[in-house]
Amino acid sequence: MRESRFLNSDYYSKEGSEEMKKISEMTKAECEQLLAENCRAYDEWKAKNLKLDMSRGKPGADQLALSEEMLSCVDAGHCIDNTGMDSRNYGGIDGLPEAKKLFEELFNKPADNIILGGNSSLNMMYDTIARAYTHGMCEGCTPWCKEEGLKFLCPSPGYDRHFAITEYFGFELITVPMKEDGPDMDMVEELVKDEKVKGIWCVPKYSNPDGISYSDEVVRRFARLKPAAKDFRIMWDNAYAVHHLYDEDQDEILDILVECEKAGNPDLPLIFASTSKITFPGSGVAMLAASKKNLDFIKKQMAYQTIGPDKINQLRHVRFFGTVDGIKRHMSKQAAILRPKFEAVLELLDKELAPLGIAEYTRPKGGYFISVNLPKGCAKRTVALAKEAGVVLTGAGATFPYGKDPEDRNIRLAPSFPPVAELTMAMELFCVCAKIAALEAAVK
Amino acid sequence: MRESRFLNSDYYSKEGSEEMKKISEMTKAECEQLLAENCRAYDEWKAKNLKLDMSRGKPGADQLALSEEMLSCVDAGHCIDNTGMDSRNYGGIDGLPEAKKLFEELFNKPADNIILGGNSSLNMMYDTIARAYTHGMCEGCTPWCKEEGLKFLCPSPGYDRHFAITEYFGFELITVPMKEDGPDMDMVEELVKDEKVKGIWCVPKYSNPDGISYSDEVVRRFARLKPAAKDFRIMWDNAYAVHHLYDEDQDEILDILVECEKAGNPDLPLIFASTSKITFPGSGVAMLAASKKNLDFIKKQMAYQTIGPDKINQLRHVRFFGTVDGIKRHMSKQAAILRPKFEAVLELLDKELAPLGIAEYTRPKGGYFISVNLPKGCAKRTVALAKEAGVVLTGAGATFPYGKDPEDRNIRLAPSFPPVAELTMAMELFCVCAKIAALEAAVK
């Protein structure tokens, strides 16, 4: 039951209340009656003056508390790392050696393939695109600001902040549909033949928002890509690398760098990760992994940007976790907090929406989101109704390039932040709103 | 005796040993004899296999120890600021409100005029230039990447990393000579009539490397500038805002933002500062202050770059300092450590070089550097000799655009990092090297 894939709503109708009919099978009068019932329920919700936020993938306060011991891990007299580097002073543009060691083990990469940065992997991604724009992606590459008509591939639904970066730099955003095991690779292979196509955004594990993990076949097809542009890069945002919801039955994906090396394409991927959702969202450590050739070039450019990252905070992470196993144990505690929240969301979707045949959604085994597809044209209306009643959802369309969902169907639910009781209320309201939207469409 | 200005070496010859003659007054034979003596001394130094670094403005270990209590200032259960913001989570793109309050007081600016950033003000400066290059400096401004032949003004000697940023973005760097009270403003006023000139780098207080503070007249002339380019900006790097060497007799400069407002030019300056040399070089808090109009525009751009800075580290700073007075008391402790180092350097320059008439240098009242001018053509040779004997100095020429000192005279001495005993050795060797270079030139 935890398959990470779109489940057809037909499936649920069998399990749901046998008395419930799908909306598509109802008469107009039945729809109108159900709509009236839900409108009454909605008015009752409105009277409660809720103020809840399910819009973004923010960890909840109980999750943050798990990492608070980290704050006192580096104190007076204990600022030198095990290689002798003083974490307090300038230097170390690619990170504190002792901290690099930990992440080398976690991601199974040698030091030459890793740069540790500041508190934001989004910032590292922005900087990567910005540097390619101003100075080129590689030795001898034309800066993108000197080219016209550039394009970037955006598997959708996807992460709005990814798409926003490339939109900001003037790329035409090309939507690539997400399938059950990753982006539509037939389409990707075709599109990269255009030398104006410079890259693709990927969240390969527990994807944002679908919670899908790319299959081995998809990763291998990425590794074997032969883009026309030599400065084409796979922006591989492994944001949820260790963010499982269950201690068993975890998704694992192939190592894109290893696969690219095997395929003779070592410079194709740029891999990003961070501890923002491992320790603290505002005070984590971001990481970039790539071929030595890519990183040597990037480090030369970075020397103009900064003297180095916050190494004391990197040392805190090492001291707090100790080993890779320490990270895994920690993530298991995170999962114990998140799991009931995901389950609460799914339970309500299963009970309230699935039997009516108006929702397809994922049952992710990790990550931060549940992605719901409503009937065509119902997403915006649902989000607007919820907002009016005090529940903020991710904006409808946000998961597509330019914020425009062509079918106005997809809504990203972010269960992590509110406590379970609030989340349940928010979801009950959400279901009422979705039903109203679907019924309004049906009676029109 | 602590005037922050170039002192003519004539001055010292009166105070120095009466037996010492200026090199310019020596016969060739006298020069050759003194050269031979110094070459012998140099060989003795070489035999000691020194390994000392005076190249960069790095705080010493004793300075870093002053801030270590900050590391435990924010611990479990104490992460919420006094406005209720959770420093651990996402958000707050312009900084933690409680931390902003402290810096608002320090710099006497309202919240609207301040952005708190990550650990590097250099990074904020780079980003500012980079954003103007990719998207324009202000609403409706042409991105600099779409213009040709752009120029940037570089008061010299100055800070190599400033110059490097604008060189990297393809600007022609225009050298503006530094005078006793700041850049040559006649020249600046003339140069800004060229609309290709987009900005100027300034370290207005205890400048790098001269230790000069801009006079009121210079600040006012900056404020009254009428640049042809509407996207011309004064990059006002107030890196040493509170970095006095003495508890009394401190330099103060006029507030450039206030002066610009008075002159009807509120959008001209972008002011940078950081706590890198107040708390920890790698783990400080950077700041940008400017007009609300500038900052509103910048914040819109920043929303693509990052979700926000490390707010826990900002909270650490607030808790550690408490008030502006706390910062001032702290800086007085820093000064007590730095002062003997500056004095050791000046003592040796006074004793060894000044009487020979071969060195002009500053006696700064703050900052991190002492700037020495040797006879023409002697800087590179001196740095090379010192390096060969194990003492790394800032590269000769580094203080000028393109790393080229037209007269090969200027050397930046950075006394902060080595302990006094090592610093004294390094300086003794430096004086020997400078004498050799000057004498070699004299006998040629």
**What is the per-residue pLDDT across B279-332, written as a single tens digit (0 to 9) for each?**
999 999 999 999 999 999 999 999 999 999 999 999 999 999 999 999 999 999
Is the CB of residue B229 less than 8 Å from the CB of residue B198?
A: yes
Is the CB of residue A413 less than 8 Å from the CB of residue A57?
A: no
| Coil/strand/helix, residue A80 | strand
Phi, psi of A118 (to 5 degrees): -85, -140
Beta-strand (E) ranges in A387-438? Answer: 391-393, 410-413
SS (H, E, C) chain B: CCCCCCECHHHHHHHCCCCCCCHHHCCHHHHHHHHHHHHHHHHHHHHCCCCEEECCCCCCHHHHHCCHHHHHCCCCCCCECCCCCECCCCCCCCCCHHHHHHHHHHHCCCHHHEEECCCCHHHHHHHHHHHHHHHCCCCCCCCHHHCCCCEEEEEECCCHHHHHHHHHCCCEEEEEEEECCEECHHHHHHHCCCCCEEEEEECCCCCCCCCCCCCHHHHHHHHCCCCCCCCCEEEEECCCCCCECCCCCCCCCCCHHHHHHHCCCCCCEEEEEECCCCCCCCCCCEEEECCHHHHHHHHHHHHHHCCCCCHHHHHHHHHHHCCHHHHHHHHHHHHHHHHHHHHHHHHHHHHHHHHHCCCEECCCCECCCEEEECCCCCHHHHHHHHHHCCEEECCCCCCCHHHCCCCCCEEEECCCCCCHHHHHHHHHHHHHHHHHHHHHHHHC
Q: How far is A289 from A240, CA to CA, in rounded Å?
A: 15
The torsion of the CA quartet B184, B190, B196, B201, rounded to 10 degrees, works out to 20
Nearest CA in chain A to B301: A168
Q: Residues near A409 by Cβ (< 8 Å), separated by ≥ 6?
A: A373, A374, A375, A376, A377, A378, A379
Distance of CA A29 to the CA centre of its chain: 42
End-to-end CA distance of chain B, in Å? Answer: 35
- What's the mean pLDDT in B3-26? 58
Is the CB of residue A56 less than 8 Å from the CB of residue A414?
A: yes
Looking at the partner chain, which of A59, A88, A304 has a beta carbon nearest the beta carbon of B89?
A59
Q: How far is A396 from A377, CA to CA, in rounded Å?
A: 10
Beta-strand (E) ranges in A172-329? Answer: 172-179, 182-183, 197-202, 233-237, 269-274, 286-289
Residue B136 sits at the chain A interface (C-beta within 8 Å):
no
Cα–Cα distances (Å) from B44 to B48, B345, B383, in that order, read 7, 21, 18
The letter for the amino acid at A323 is T
Question: In this predicted structure, what is the pLDDT of residue A326?
Answer: 98
> What residues are paired with B272 via a beta bridge?
B237, B288
- What's the mean pLDDT in B75-86? 96
Supply B108's token pair.
């006497």
Nearest alpha-carbon partner for B182 in B159, B164, B206: B206
In the DSSP assignment, the letter for residue A16 is S
Phi, psi of B149 (to 5 degrees): 70, 30
CB contact under 8 A, B281 and A168: no
CB contact under 8 A, A311 and B283: yes
Is the CB of residue A164 less than 8 Å from the CB of residue A402?
A: no
Question: In this predicted structure, what is the pLDDT of residue A4?
Answer: 38
| Coil/strand/helix, residue A133 | helix
Residue A133 sits at the chain B interface (C-beta within 8 Å):
yes
CB contact under 8 A, A282 and B71: no
Which residues of chain A make contact with B69, given a CB cutoff of 8 A?
76
Q: Is the peptide bond before B375 cis (omega within 30 degrees of 0)?
A: no
In the DSSP assignment, the letter for residue A113 is G
Supply A302's token pair.
């970075």
Interface mutation vs chain B, best among A66, A280, A314, most B CBs within 10 Å: A280
Residue A169 sits at the chain B interface (C-beta within 8 Å):
yes
Q: Would the pLDDT of B150 be above 70?
A: yes
CB contact under 8 A, B310 and A282: yes
Q: How far is B172 from A142, CA to CA, in rounded Å?
A: 20
| Coil/strand/helix, residue A50 | coil
How close B165 gets to chain A, by Cα (Å)? 6
Residue B142 sits at the chain A interface (C-beta within 8 Å):
no
| Coil/strand/helix, residue A382 | helix
Nearest CA in chain A to B60: A89
**Mean pLDDT for all residues in chain B:** 95
Question: In this predicted structure, what is the pLDDT of residue A9?
Answer: 40
Nearest alpha-carbon partner for A415 in A387, A391, A390: A391
> What residues are paired with A206 via a beta bridge?
none
The letter for the amino acid at B125 is M
Q: How far is A262 from A242, CA to CA, in rounded Å?
A: 24
Which residues of chain A make contact with B120, given a CB cutoff of 8 A?
306-308
Looking at the partner chain, which of A90, A127, A281 has a beta carbon nearest the beta carbon of B281?
A90
Question: In this predicted structure, what is the pLDDT of residue B20?
Answer: 79
Which residues of chain B make contact with A91, given a CB cutoff of 8 A?
282
Please give the model's pTM, rounded to 2 decimal places: 0.95
Which residues of chain A make contact with B59, given a CB cutoff of 8 A?
89
CB contact under 8 A, B307 and A122: yes
Nearest alpha-carbon partner for B185 in B228, B215, B151: B215
Residue B312 sits at the chain A interface (C-beta within 8 Å):
yes
Residue B53 sits at the chain A interface (C-beta within 8 Å):
no
The letter for the amino acid at B88 is R
Q: How far is B390 from B395, CA to CA, in rounded Å?
A: 14
Nearest alpha-carbon partner for A335 in A206, A167, A178: A206
* Cα atoms in the Cβ-side hemisphere of radius 13 Å centred on B153: 30
CB contact under 8 A, B133 and A135: no
Supply A301's token pair.
């450019």
Nearest alpha-carbon partner for B57 in B247, B244, B277: B277
Question: In this predicted structure, what is the pLDDT of residue A20?
Answer: 79
How close A62 gets to chain B, by Cα (Å)? 11
10-residue averages of pLDDT along chain A (444 residues): 39 49 95 98 96 93 97 95 97 96 94 96 98 97 97 98 98 97 98 98 98 98 98 98 96 98 98 98 97 98 96 98 98 98 98 97 97 98 98 96 97 96 97 98 94
Q: Would the pLDDT of B6 be above 60?
A: no
Is the CB of residue A378 less than 8 Å from the CB of residue A438?
A: yes
B-proximal residues of A, 381-440, CB under 8 Å:
none
The letter for the amino acid at B31 is C
Which residues of chain B make contact with A75, given a CB cutoff of 8 A?
68, 71-72
Q: How many CB atoms lie within 10 A of CB B419?
A: 12
Interface mutation vs chain B, best among A81, A169, A283, most B CBs within 10 Å: A283
In the DSSP assignment, the letter for residue A171 is P
B-proximal residues of A, 247-276, CB under 8 Å:
276
> What residues are paired with A152 via a beta bridge?
A173
Phi, psi of A318 (to 5 degrees): -65, -45
Supply B255's token pair.
């507030």
ipTM value for the complex: 0.95
Looking at the partner chain, which of A77, A146, A283 has a beta carbon nearest the beta carbon of B313?
A283
* Sign of the four-CA dihedral A256, A257, A261, A267: positive
Nearest CA in chain B to A64: B88
Nearest alpha-carbon partner for B108 in B297, B273, B339, B277: B273
How close B262 gets to chain A, by Cα (Å)? 33
Nearest alpha-carbon partner for A172 in A190, A146, A195, A154: A154
How close A272 gets to chain B, by Cα (Å)? 14
Interface mutation vs chain A, best among B86, B280, B311, most A CBs within 10 Å: B280
Is the CB of residue B206 less than 8 Å from the CB of residue B273?
A: no
Residue B119 sits at the chain A interface (C-beta within 8 Å):
yes
Question: In this predicted structure, what is the pLDDT of residue B12?
Answer: 41
